Amino acid sequence: MASQKLCVVLINAVVLIVILLTRSSSALTLAEVMATQEANVRSLANSTEAVFAARCTDTNLCQVNTTRCTFATCGGNPTLQASMTCDFTLGSNPSICGEECSGLLRSTTTSAVSVAAGATNNQEASTFICSTASLTSVFADLYYNQGVTGWQYVASNTGVTRTFPAAGSTDSCTDPPDTRQQSWYVSASTGPKDIVFVTDFSGSMSTGDGGPNGMTRAAAMKVAVVSLLGSLGPNDRFNIIAFTSSPTTVGTANTLMAGTPDNILLMQNRFNAWPVGGGTTFGNAMTAAFSLLQSSDATGCARIIMFLTDGQPSDGNAVISSIAAGQSTLGSNPARLFTYSLSAKANHAILRQIACDNTGIWTLISDASSPTSPLQQYYNFLAAGIVDSSPQWTAPYESSFGQGEITTVSIPCFDRSVTPKVFVGVAAIDTLMTDLLKYGTEAQIEAQIGLKSGKCLNYDLTPCQMQQLRVSTGYTCPSPAPAVSTCASTHITAPSCSTTIVTNINEVVCTTNTSTSQAEMSCCSPKQCATATNEITHTRTRPATITIQETFSRTHVATDTWTSTMSDEGTKTLTLRPTPSNTFSATTTISS
């Protein structure tokens, strides 16, 4: 009898220990879970900076041979496809693969690269590809050992993105998207900001030389601005001034709007529908823009005015005094003005003066609708001047990889071998909203995103760095700005390696099979789908009224937890999809 009582006591003690351990593991707060993901993205960024720093000294890094080549997301490759498995946990796509078998092929043994349509096919882009090839072990550690269930990225400022797991592209391969326009890339490279677009809708904007196939200047401008709006995040504040003879605020009057998905969509639709017609008055439009920057809803962080016009102002140089008056109201944090001529007939002189007088850049744009339009220049300006950085979170959005709703945490990467350090790209990790919702509500998650990503970043660009940024636009500011010849030793981009033999992206990307279709490259076969959906059932039977929490640790896959309350004797069944290893271990917690 005594031995039976002792046995019961020991069993109860074991159950209590398991309960305490389970409670301890589940006591993590939402903030702590997000902080862990921030630590993960910092680790990825640190590793990226380390391999990038060694790009010029590691003689084995960029050898041109088939054993060290990098897989591309477009084109297909037999070796890559052989390493892929059908994995529903990493996304599905019924539109490409069909409803009956929507699973996608993924490889967690390697990574793959995509190259934006306008990426520079040069030494820097090629070197980034081969130098980051060794990050696969870092990606895998985060995936297998650190609980990262979303996609991981390192994206360069040259337009190259390395992604883990490796997968075929579900986007267009003839016109691949530019990662540098994604909100997670922009938020990491610019931080919170107040931005006002001052856009010309005068009658001349209907001229059909703004882009390909007779696109009007206004239509091309709309494409560009709508794209830029899509890159904003919830911690940005923005609005649009549409001007002709007089200015009109496109968004909410007298204030800046938060860059939430709803506000972005609203403004994109309004801007796309805005009519053309009228005169060209600069001064009043600028006065309206500076008034918005003083809004109580502003972040007070970086202040940007994007000024787009094709014409000659009807009010002469009145805009110069309007800007000076506006800047005087902003105190120690003046606005930077980026000016864009949308026609060769525009008044370049006054637009150049505006940019040079206000720490900005002027650019002549022949096709504003291009995804590599110089309108993206302000990203480079802010990124180049970042002094400190912190992880930035995006608003929740739908995963392009079919994982449902996600948020992405990102952080900039630098080349620290030069002084001051220079921006080279962004590291990022997706986080599934279903994972975060285990620790808080959607409102709490959005509040944490705002809290974690609302800190202003510090920027410090020297006059020489500004001139170097302007060189790429074809115009540098006159004195008192320094002559470019005196700024030769100033780096604004990472210095090139003088000894590398890699000069072309095709030299470091594995040979592809161009006949492979998008579906063949990306989708599971019917046989693979049948295997992946052959579900495993786990059954537990318990008497009386108790709560059962089963924690299943699947090899190399995130943990699943099943909690149920049984009011009567009965059986509860948990169904899980198998993993490639089909290995499960279970921990049971019982409480009355």
Joined together, the tokens standing for residue 427 give 């590291």
For residues 281 and 244, is the Cβ–Cβ distance under 8 A? Answer: yes
CA distance 342 to 404: 39
End-to-end CA distance of the chain: 25
Task: Enumerate the β-bridge partners of residue 160.
Answer: 115
CA distance 193 to 584: 47
Closest by Cα among 92, 125, 148 to 400: 92
For residues 257 and 234, is the Cβ–Cβ distance under 8 A? Answer: no
DSSP 8-state symbol, 569: S
Domain assignment present for residue 495? The answer is no
Would you state the torsion angle of the CA atoms of residues 570, 575, 580, 586, taken in this order, to the nearest 10 degrees? -40
Domain assignment present for residue 482? The answer is no
Check residue 264 and give its pLDDT: 95
The whole-number average pLDDT for the span 265-276 is 97
| pLDDT band with cut points at 50, 70 and 90 for residue 90 | confident
Domain assignment present for residue 580? The answer is yes
| pLDDT band with cut points at 50, 70 and 90 for residue 548 | very low
**Same structural domain for residues 107 and 229?**
no
How buried is residue 253: exposed, middle or buried, by Cβ count under 10 Å (0-12/13-18/19+)? exposed
Check residue 577 and give its pLDDT: 38
Please give the tally of structural domains in the chain. Answer: 3
Joined together, the tokens standing for residue 108 give 């967690």
Does residue 254 have a pLDDT over 70? yes
Check residue 505 and give its pLDDT: 72
| pLDDT band with cut points at 50, 70 and 90 for residue 453 | confident
Assign 406 to helix, strand or coil.
strand
| pLDDT band with cut points at 50, 70 and 90 for residue 349 | very high
Check residue 243 and give its pLDDT: 97
Other C-beta atoms closer than 10 Å to the C-beta of 7 total 10
The whole-number average pLDDT for the span 283-296 is 96
Peptide bond into 165 cis (omega under 30): yes
**Same structural domain for residues 174 and 257?**
no
**Same structural domain for residues 45 and 75?**
yes
**Same structural domain for residues 125 and 215?**
no
| Domain span including residue 330 | 183-370
Element of type H or E holding 51: helix 30-53
CA distance 70 to 102: 27
CA distance 291 to 324: 13
For residues 184 and 408, is the Cβ–Cβ distance under 8 A? Answer: yes
Closest by Cα among 116, 142, 133, 125 to 71: 133
CA distance 284 to 323: 10
| pLDDT band with cut points at 50, 70 and 90 for residue 332 | very high
Assign 134 to helix, strand or coil.
helix
CA distance 285 to 319: 8
Check residue 316 and give its pLDDT: 83
Domain assignment present for residue 69? The answer is yes
CA distance 408 to 40: 12
For residues 403 and 420, is the Cβ–Cβ distance under 8 A? Answer: no
Sequence-ordered strand ranges (E) for 315-404:
336-341, 362-364, 392-393, 397-398
DSSP 8-state symbol, 585: E
Domain assignment present for residue 466? The answer is no
DSSP for 443-496 reads HHHHHHHHHHH-PPPPB---HHHHHHHHHTTT----TTSPPGGGGTT--SSPPP
**Same structural domain for residues 322 and 340?**
yes
Check residue 311 and give its pLDDT: 80
**Same structural domain for residues 236 and 355?**
yes
For residues 160 and 203, is the Cβ–Cβ distance under 8 A? Answer: no
| CATH number, domain with residue 354 | 3.40.50.410
Domain assignment present for residue 486? The answer is no
For residues 541 and 103, is the Cβ–Cβ distance under 8 A? Answer: no
For residues 521 and 97, is the Cβ–Cβ distance under 8 A? Answer: no
Domain assignment present for residue 23? The answer is no
| pLDDT band with cut points at 50, 70 and 90 for residue 369 | low
486 vs 571, higher pLDDT:
486
Closest by Cα among 485, 448, 372, 385 to 121: 372
CA distance 28 to 34: 10
CA distance 235 to 434: 22
Check residue 560 and give its pLDDT: 43
Give the model confidence (pLDDT) of 405-449 as tens digits. Answer: 999 999 999 988 887 788 889 999 999 999 999 999 999 999 999
**Same structural domain for residues 90 and 60?**
yes
121-130, 224-233, 383-392 — which one is most confidently predicted on average?
224-233
**Same structural domain for residues 398 and 506?**
yes
Domain assignment present for residue 410? The answer is yes
Assign 365 to helix, strand or coil.
coil
Element of type H or E holding 263: helix 261-272
Sequence-ordered strand ranges (E) for 277-360:
302-309, 336-341
**Same structural domain for residues 230 and 358?**
yes
pTM to 2 decimal places: 0.77
The values of phi and psi at residue 282, to 5°, are -75, -45
**Same structural domain for residues 415 and 556?**
no
**Same structural domain for residues 100 and 37?**
yes
Average pLDDT, the chain: 79
Give the model confidence (pLDDT) of 7-36 as tens digits. Answer: 433 334 333 333 333 334 457 899 999 999
Does residue 569 have a pLDDT over 60? no
Joined together, the tokens standing for residue 266 give 């609203």
Joined together, the tokens standing for residue 162 give 């390395």
Placement of tokens 């169904």 in the chain: 575
Closest by Cα among 116, 270, 100 to 182: 116
132 vs 210, higher pLDDT:
132
For residues 343 and 209, is the Cβ–Cβ distance under 8 A? Answer: yes
CA distance 190 to 34: 21
CA distance 258 to 449: 13
**Same structural domain for residues 110 and 127?**
yes
The whole-number average pLDDT for the span 495-524 is 68
295 vs 402, higher pLDDT:
295
